[in-house]
Amino acid sequence: MFGTLIQKQKEYFQSGKTLPLEFRIGQLKRIKDSIDRNEKIILEALYKDLRKSEIEAYNSEVLVVTADIDYALRRVKKWVRPKKVRTPLMHLPAKSLIYPEPVGVVLILSPWNYPFQLTFVPLIGAIAAGNCAVLKPSEYAPHMSAAMAEIIRHDFEEDYITVVEGGVEVSKALLQEKFDHIFFTGSTEVGKMVMRAASQHLTPVTLELGGKSPCIVWKDANIEVASRRILWGKFLNAGQTCVAPDYLLVHKDISKRFIEALINGIRKFYGPSPQQSKDYARIINENHFERLKKYLEDGAVVFGGEYDKKDLYLSPTLLSNVKQSSPVMQDEIFGPILPIIEFETMEDVVDRIRSKPKPLSLYLFTDDKSVQEAILRNTSSGGVCINDTVSHIVGSELPFGGVGESGLGSYHGKASFDSFTHYKSVLRRSFSFDARMKYPPYQVELKKIKRILKFLLR
């Protein structure tokens, strides 16, 4: 179905057009210029699909992309240089180098929750690394998908970068083709299907998945600041964020005061009726709305719980008395529902987190360094953010990715470049010296050879 398109991109890549540093820098600048020209269209599309306010859409989508482009432009010259490394004595005179080379034609499958950011940030890495790319945005965000298709179509040759729109069948058809790398962002279950399809061609993959990211509030936490930062991270994009705090573990000594602070914070953020707030997004579609509505039955609603199917509105909701076995504690919520669970000891927290698959993110609110170190040592997650939420993924110096069921590989900044790069090892020897002892017939006894090689391989 897409064989001709992929072949054209392979031919474009084989021509060598994408390799020069000047070409890569030019394409990154072209994307930046295109985003600047089409900013209004991008923001309008995000509003139509998710009811994102202009400020939220700009900060969480456009700014993240343009900042990553600027970061790549300042550093790509250094990234593409061959790196000299140490050469063992036995190879001298020689040089050992690592050459970064593009992998070829890549497929980027992006989701609907941050449709612009999660398409273009991987694309920045693919371009900087010198690849061609096929982009497949989610059909669940049709306005953004159409806008991205038009932006790419206007500014780039189809043989170099193209957008393919459509539903599940289109994604399945693309996965039948042989790409040089597949970058997927989405659910763990779909990630498994992507990996199975990729395995048919031994195609390497980067999987940015999800999971139940825990948020721990220790008894010494600043209640006002912690509650505000948790609410922001949880209800950003109506909770439809892969790194949103999925459930809250609050020390019993402060749980009552903390819940009161959360309730007051929601009112301050969104007013007496969040449905009327211009800063509160909507659920993406009816299927996800119905899925989320069922979670309200899994505990006692402490605050919120209102919904309007016609408006795809579900209010910021706090749940208590949730059972570990209930669906809301088994599935990734991916919506504006926050279960709250009390704990007493570090062992309670660690045991609960370890009982679930490794999460994409873990949040901890405390100034107690011993508690911080205990959590860092005894739990595993894609990333950790202490005394804030979500902010650890904003910025290009920290690689972002999961571990175990929450993902494979990482990106952002240099890590994005690395995802789409093969690091080729090169040993360049001289003809000026050639030790005869390495060739048969061997004249030296093994004991002596061991001593010599131990020295030469240092």
Phi, psi of 401 (to 5 degrees): -175, 175
Contacts of 315 (CB under 8 A, 6+ apart): 274, 275, 304, 305, 306, 307, 336
Q: Taking a C-beta distance cutoff of 8 angstroms, is the pair 369, 350 a contact?
A: no
Give the whole-angstrom CA distance, residue 383 versus residue 376: 10
Q: Return the number of other C-beta atoms located less than 10 Å from residue 60's C-beta.
A: 20
Among residues 242, 332, 385, 405, which one is catalytic? 242
List alpha helices for 310-345, DSSP H. 327-330
Which residue of the set 61, 208, 332, 405 is catalytic? 208
Query: Taking the alpha carbons of 11, 14, 18, 22 in that order, is the dihedral positive or negative?
Result: negative
Two tokens at 109? Answer: 């499958």
Strands (E), 35-93: 83-85
Structure tokens at 344: 């007493």
Report angle CA 232, 238, 244 to the nearest 5 degrees.
55
Give dist(CA 139, CA 48) in Å, integer: 13
224 carries an active-site annotation: no
Query: Would residue 189 show up in a list of annotated catalytic residues for this protein?
Result: no
Do residues 417 and 128 lie in contact, with contact meaning Cβ atoms separated by under 8 Å? yes
Q: How far apart are CA 359 and CA 3, in angstroms?
A: 37
What is d(CA 43, CA 63) in angstroms, rounded to the nearest whole number?
12
Residue in the structure block whose two tokens are 């994604």: 171
Number of alpha carbons in the 13 Å side-chain half-sphere of residue 66? 14
Phi, psi of 318, deg, nearest 5: -110, 130
Q: In the numeric block, which tokens belong to residue 331?
A: 């599935």
Amino acid type, 426: V
Cα torsion at 228, 44, 243, 303 (round to 10°)? 40
Provide the annotated active-site residues.
Answer: 208, 242
